[in-house]
Amino acid sequence: MNRRHALVTGAGSGIGKAIALALAADGHIVSLVGRRAAPLEAVKEEIHSSGGEAHVHHEFDVTDPAAVEQGISAAIAKSGEIAVLVNCAGEAPSAPFEKTDLSLWQRVLTVNLTGVFLVTQAALASVRRAGNGRIVNVASTAGLTGYAYVSAYCASKHGVIGLTRALALELARTDVTVNAVCPGFTDTPLIDGALDTISEKTGRSREEARASLARSNPQGRLVTPDEVAHTVSWLVSEKATAITGQAIPVAGGEVLGG
């Protein structure tokens, strides 16, 4: 199943970048998808320098149906049918529930949940044509439990897991599997923003804020993007053919079960 076309949204940094690099190392042709060209081009150069193949499709806004359709069509025209789809684009602003206004709520739900819906719906016919298709949605432990001050994010990630399970059942008699990975607090640029917010609101230093997040993991550390990427790499391999409809925590034991 190597040398197949994998499309990764949010591929310019953090977990999306790590997944793109891992899939390229596994031999896939990777479509790097996102809104900004510069970070995607940097990931492409890193892949090419390691002997892999990747192509950039920027101005791909997962909340814009027309942009999604155009980007999916361009990726298929460039690299063939999409055998592996990884939905990783997302954002995680924080605010107390009483200060979560409708615009913030709608933005987070639109990016994190509706974006997965739009991209998957646009790509699904291609995934089915490719044969042995794999869809992996990057959710979060926030989709399995609750966290204070990120109600919109928790709701969106619970929605992603529900969508994952529903689609997995619809496709269970096909050769397409649909799963979610659920990272705990992961050492990415997204966490940097959370550290700034915690420091601002509590007066604690960034180091103290980082330590408080690490304590939520029974292993006493932040997850690495590569650890999430390795899980995705396994899920899209032929070794995981019987795994579908699952929400797999990558969180050092913070959440048990899925």
Residue 146: C-alpha distances to residues 26, 140, 158, 217 (Å): 34, 10, 9, 15
- Ramachandran bin of 92, using left for φ above 0, alpha for ψ from -120 to 50, beta for the remaining angles: beta
Strand partners, 223: 186
Number of domains the chain is built from: 1
| Residue-level pLDDT at 213 | 74
Whole-model pTM: value is 0.92
Q: Give the residue numbers spanning the domain of 35.
A: 5-184+225-248
Q: List active site positions.
A: 153
13 belongs to a structural domain: yes
33: three-class secondary structure by DSSP: strand
Residue type (1 letter), 201 = K
168 belongs to a structural domain: yes
Residue 56, domain CATH: 3.40.50.720
Strands 5-9 and 82-87: parallel
| Residue-level pLDDT at 199 | 66
- Paired tokens of 136: 């992996």
**CA-based R_g, the chain, Å:** 17
Please tell me the distance from the alpha carbon of residue 144 to that of residue 157, in angstroms, as a whole number.
Answer: 8
Write the DSSP symbol of residue 224: P
Residue 44: C-alpha distances to residues 79, 138, 237, 255 (Å): 14, 21, 22, 34
Please tell me the distance from the alpha carbon of residue 229 to that of residue 246, in angstroms, as a whole number.
Answer: 16
**Cβ distance 47 to 29 under 8 Å?**
no
- Paired tokens of 41: 């081009």
258 belongs to a structural domain: no
32 belongs to a structural domain: yes
Burial (Cβ within 10 Å: 0-12, 13-18, ≥19) of residue 61: middle
140 belongs to a structural domain: yes
205 belongs to a structural domain: no
pLDDT by residue, tens only, the chain of 258 residues: 568 999 999 999 999 999 999 999 999 999 999 999 999 999 999 999 999 999 999 999 999 999 999 999 999 999 999 999 999 999 988 889 999 999 999 999 999 999 999 999 999 999 999 999 999 999 999 999 999 889 999 999 999 999 999 999 999 999 999 999 999 988 777 776 666 666 666 677 767 766 777 778 888 888 999 999 999 999 999 999 999 999 999 998 888 865
Residue with tokens 């492409």: 44
17 belongs to a structural domain: yes
92 belongs to a structural domain: yes
